[in-house]
Amino acid sequence: MDFKLQPSALQMTYHIPVLLKETLELLNPTKEGFWVDATAGGGGYSRNILEKITPGGKLIAIDRDEEAIEQCEKTLADFEGYSIFINDNFANIRSILNSMNIPGIKGIIFDLGVSSHQIDSPDRGFSYSKEGPLDMRMGRETALSAKDIINKLTESELVEIFSRYGQEHFSKRIASAIVKHRPLRTTKELSDIIAGSVPSRSRTDSMSRVFQAIRIKVNDEMSSLEKALPDAIESLEKGGRIAVISYHSLEDKITKNVFKKEATDCLCGPEVPSCVCGHKKKVRILTKKPVAPSDEETRANPRARSAKLRVAERI
Ligand SMILES: C[S@@+](CC[C@H](N)C(=O)[O-])C[C@H]1O[C@@H](n2cnc3c(N)ncnc32)[C@H](O)[C@@H]1O
């Protein structure tokens, strides 16, 4: 292997790419065709892919966060002519490729969730430990902010969000305290309410889980992924590969199920004697089990600890 794996210093402070070596080995970028980084973030993956595909190949870097795309355009300026930057939701992958008359792609990577830069920027409202507005929108196209969700939904809707997307054990207590103290304006107000609603040993975990749950709801993350994965597979050329790095069990479940479905010929149940659905498999799964970061990577970058990589190849 001769991967350089050298994001620039600016990219390293913006976001340290997770499972980079493992993903690049499986994605196997070559010097031809179109490649997509669906979650460009700080451009760490984009740079490493560009180093492998140029000259010859081109990269389309997508992020729904306008600030991330502007940043990538700057840090990847040395690859001008080989990279195209798109500020959009990856759920729109088909229309993005159609609008550029790109009939097929060689590979696509989804590195899900938020970047370290987004979490570390207090004004974005993603962090429970930094005071800022209750925002949490990854992109400006998003209709509702965290403030709307927290202040407008019913108590039972909040319980459902905290339980479903955060697997939070104290969802009911937290939702009830939020409703009593509304309206809330800042991340600090929300963190204090969560901290005051749960046993002291659970404070940090509960704050982390509830903030994550609200972020997932605000950005409708699971629906975007459910829409994007089949469309991305459909866009792959024969032999093209799709890599997905998830950080949440629901994201991994969606990925696993889409890959499994698209790797199966007939989807009729066992009660149907001969196939009536006509479904034909489109991919071969390259990761029978998800790839996890090494202990060494998790020690160096704790944000990698929940990462899981799955890769499939178009047939
Ligand atoms: C974990 S970071 C990616 C980091 C990147 N791989 C790197 O090496 O710097 C996730 C990025 O995906 C973006 N993102 C999340 N969901 C998205 C979606 N549905 N469409 C487009 N971008 C999305 C976020 O705004 C964030 O910048």
Q: What is the CATH number of the domain that holds 22?
A: 3.40.50.150
Q: At which of 168, 192, 218 does a domain end? A: 218
Residue whose CB lies within 8 A of the most ligand 1 atoms, among 94, 135, 138, 141, for a mutation test: 138
CA of 213 to the centre of ligand 1 (A): 17
Tell me the average pLDDT across 170-194.
Answer: 98
| Domain around 174 | 143-218
SS3 126: coil
Asked whether residue 296 falls in the same domain as residue 235, the answer is yes
Is 287 a domain residue? yes
Mean confidence (pLDDT) of the chain: 95
Q: Are residues 147 and 189 in the same domain?
A: yes
Name the residue of 16, 94, 115 whose CB sits within 8 Å of the most ligand 1 atoms, as the mutation to test its pocket: 115
Mean pLDDT for the stretch of residues 124-145: 94
Alpha-carbon distance 241 to 13, whole Å? 29
What residues form DSSP beta bridges with 109? 37, 243
Q: Which of 170, 191, 218 is the last residue of a domain?
A: 218
Residues with CB under 6 A from ligand 1: 15, 17, 39, 41-45, 62-65, 68, 89-91, 111, 113-115, 138, 224
Res. 271: pLDDT tops 60: yes
Q: Average pLDDT, stretch 63-71?
A: 96
**Residue 104 resides in a domain:** yes
Q: Report the separation in Å between the CA atom of 63 and the middle of ligand 1, taken as the mean of its atom positions.
A: 6
pLDDT at 9: 60
Residue 259 CA to ligand 1 center (angstroms) comes to 21
Is the pLDDT score of 252 beyond 90? yes
For 292-304, what is the mean pLDDT? 95
Task: Determine the Cα–Cα distance for residues 209 and 112; give it in Å rounded to an integer.
Answer: 17
- Residue 71 and residue 39 share a domain: yes
Are residues 257 and 207 part of one domain?
A: no
Are 104 and 182 part of one and the same domain? no
Whether 113 and 233 share a structural domain: yes
Quickly state the pLDDT bin for 2 (edges 50, 70, 90): very low
For residue 213, the model assigns a pLDDT of: 98
* H helical segments located in the chain: 9-14, 20-27, 44-53, 66-75, 93-99, 116-120, 146-152, 155-166, 171-181, 187-197, 203-218, 221-235, 249-262, 295-300
Q: Which atom of ligand 1 is least distant from the CA of 17? A: 8
Cα(115) to centroid(ligand 1), Å: 6
Does residue 142 or residue 296 have the better pLDDT? Answer: 296
Report how far residue 13's alpha carbon sits from residue 291's, in angstroms, rounded to the nearest whole number.
25
Tell whether 238 and 190 lie within a shared domain. no
The answer to whether residue 230 is domain-embedded is yes
Edge-to-edge strand order for the sheet containing 308-314?
83-87, 57-63, 33-37, 105-111, 236-246, 308-314, 283-285
| Total domain count, the chain | 2
Q: Whose CA is nearest to atom 3 of ligand 1?
A: 41
**Average confidence (pLDDT) over 228-240:** 98
Q: Ligand 1 pocket test: pick from 6, 37, 39 the residue with the most ligand atoms within 8 Å of its Cβ.
A: 39
Q: Which atom of ligand 1 is found nearest the CA of 7?
A: 8
pLDDT for the residue 10: 58
Give me the CATH number covering residue 193.
Answer: 1.10.150.170
What per-residue confidence (pLDDT) applies to 196?
A: 97
The verdict on residue 125 lying in a domain is no
pLDDT digits (tens, 9 = 90+) for 196-222: 999 999 999 999 999 999 999 999 999
Last-in-domain residue among 187, 218, 249: 218
Q: Is the domain of 17 the same as that of 107?
A: yes
Closest ligand 1 atom number to CA of residue 45: 8
1 in a structural domain: no
Quick one: 211 and 225 in the same domain?
no
Whether 28 and 148 share a structural domain: no
Condensed to tens digits (0 to 9), the pLDDT of residues 5-39 reads 555 565 567 889 999 999 999 999 999 999 999 99
- Tell how strand 236-246 and strand 105-111 pair up: parallel
> What is the Å distance from ligand 1's center to 308 Cα?
15
User: pLDDT tens digits, residue range 81-93?
Assistant: 999 999 999 999 9
Alpha carbon of 118 to ligand 1 centroid (Å) = 10
Examine residue 16 and state whether it is found in any structural domain, yes or no.
yes
Compute the distance from residue 41 Cα to the ligand 1 centre, in Å. Answer: 5
Same domain as 295, residue 235: yes
CA of 112 to the centre of ligand 1 (A): 6
User: Is 70 exceeded by the pLDDT of residue 119?
Assistant: yes
8 Å CB contact between 260 and 129: no
Residue 255 included in any domain: yes
Percentage of the chain with pLDDT > 90? 93
Q: How far is the CA of 182 from the centre of ligand 1 (A)?
A: 31
